[in-house]
Structure 1
Amino acid sequence: MMTLELLKQLAKALAVQFGNDCEVVIHDLTRKSLHKSIVYIENGHITNRKTGDGPSKVVLETMRKDPSKISDHLGYLTKTNDGKTLKSSTIFVREEEGGPIQYILAINFDITNLLYFQDSVRSLISESGEPAVSSYHKEPESICTNVADLLDDLIAQAVAVVGKPASLMSKDERVQAIQFLNNTGAFLITKSGDKVSQYFGISKYTLYSYIKADKN
């Protein structure tokens, strides 16, 4: 069984192995307060997070999904608020296969300088007149440092999904945005309902009816 102490030992080893550009984070999903889900972190300067900080988007999504359908997410791109690009992997830890997720081990390697170097090399070796192609084209997922910023980011994503400002949304489009927020676990954040209701110009009662419509 993978215990928290063993995970901490592994996290420290990974950080030492790959150096200061490698952040390793442990989220504890067994805690009552998810707002302080980070119980261990190495090289927190990468994302400016520390022990006692809140969950990431992936933590909220994990709490909303069927554990038996969750698998490790490896080698994807993320970004920090100060512009770093990271190559990330998320490992879900449980006592038994298909059982509840107890811990999340996240590895975030800062590849910003490597991307600049790769683009420079590509521009040097490309043929004359051939444009240099960027090292990545998919928009990386943001890593937030606190739950307030995370909620703001999720609301922005919900608006992007609909494709128009909240003030111009129809009822069906507001329902779509609220359902997106519900599916990403936004309402697991304390007092998120108040902020979302105010942002979309609806009452708390209407908000709950939109969430219920998603369940139906």
Structure 2
Amino acid sequence: MLSEQNANFLKQIAKAIAIQFGEDCEVVVHKIDENKTDHSIIAIENGHITNRHIGDGPSQVVLETLQKDPEEIEDHYNYLTRTRDGRVLKSSTMFYKGEDGKLEAILAINFDTSSLFAAENTLHKLTITDEPEDEVEPSFIPQNVNDLLDELIKESVKLVGKPVALMTKEDKVKSIQFLSNKGAFLITKSGDKVAKYFNISKYTLYNYIG
């Protein structure tokens, strides 16, 4: 359990980083409580970047992390994420563990690179060649847990490659197990929404999860 003293220390770090790097740098502190996954944010600086606030829910990274053994969790630096309005962020995520080795909090840094990408694209037009380029799809940062669940469902359908109406039982199992691995069912009442979306009963849903 994250102590008040440690929580305040993480909040201090978040504020210092945000002040150091300015209004384009969002810093978020998530408190890990498996019973309150829908409201994990206990501190956020420059929340205008993702339009999130204290009391809002976790990102996809947080949900995926809760599915792992704490010993397997490692900090994740310098990767791309995106917001609902299409801005690309440069992100890093650090995991805070207690003396017992259990995950207690997550400190996430999201730097809005929109203006930098605009400048880079202008320069790229002058340096572009006919050589193919690898494309990296940034992870999605939701404004709330409902947005996150919608995005995960969309990804699960994309994974199968066909609409729900055309899915076989095996297709639905594949999609639902993908959602389970991503931590989607840690979201409150997610089972009801997923079952309705895939037109199956909750009993069938839990059988598909395995």
Give TM-score scaled by structure 2 length. 0.93
Per-residue CA shift, 1:133-183, capped at 9, x if unaligned? Answer: 88x821111110111111100100111111111111111111111100111
Q: Secondary structure at the match of 1:158?
A: helix
Runs of 4+ with deviation above 6 angstroms: none
After TM superposition, list the pairs within 5 Å mapping 1:194-209 onto structure 2. Answer: 194-209=192-207
> 2: CA distance between counterparts of 1:155 and 1:176?
12
Asked whether the equivalents of residues 72 and 91 of structure 1 are also in contact (C-alpha less than 8 Å), the reply is: yes
Q: Secondary structure at the match of 2:209?
A: helix
The one-letter amino acid of 2:183's match is G
> 2: CA distance between counterparts of 1:189 and 1:143?
15
Q: CA RMSD in A?
A: 2.0
> 1: CA distance between counterparts of 2:87 and 2:103?
29
Q: Which residue of 2 aligns with 1:23?
A: 26
Per-residue CA shift, 1:97-152, capped at 9, x if unaligned? Answer: 8x21100000000001101101212323x27xx35988x82111111011111110
Give unmatched runs, 5+ long, in structure 1.
none
Asked whether the equivalents of residues 123 and 132 of structure 1 are also in contact (C-alpha less than 8 Å), the reply is: no
Residues matched between the structures, number: 207
Q: Secondary structure at the match of 1:102?
A: strand
> 1: CA distance between counterparts of 2:193 and 2:125?
46
Q: Which residue of 2 aligns with 1:111?
A: 113
> 1: CA distance between counterparts of 2:131 and 2:113?
19
Q: Which residue of 2 aligns with 1:83?
A: 86
The one-letter amino acid of 1:80's match is T
Q: Which residue of 2 aligns with 1:122?
A: 124
After TM superposition, list the pairs within 5 Å mapping 1:38-117 onto structure 2. Answer: 38-96=41-99, 99-117=101-119
> 2: CA distance between counterparts of 1:56 and 1:3?
22
Q: State percent identity of aligned pairs.
A: 55
Q: Secondary structure at the match of 1:3?
A: helix
The one-letter amino acid of 2:47's match is G
> 2: CA distance between counterparts of 1:31 and 1:211?
19
Q: How far off is 1:31 after superposition?
A: 6.7
Which of 161, 176, 186 matches 2:184? Answer: 186
Give unmatched runs, 5+ long, in structure 2.
none
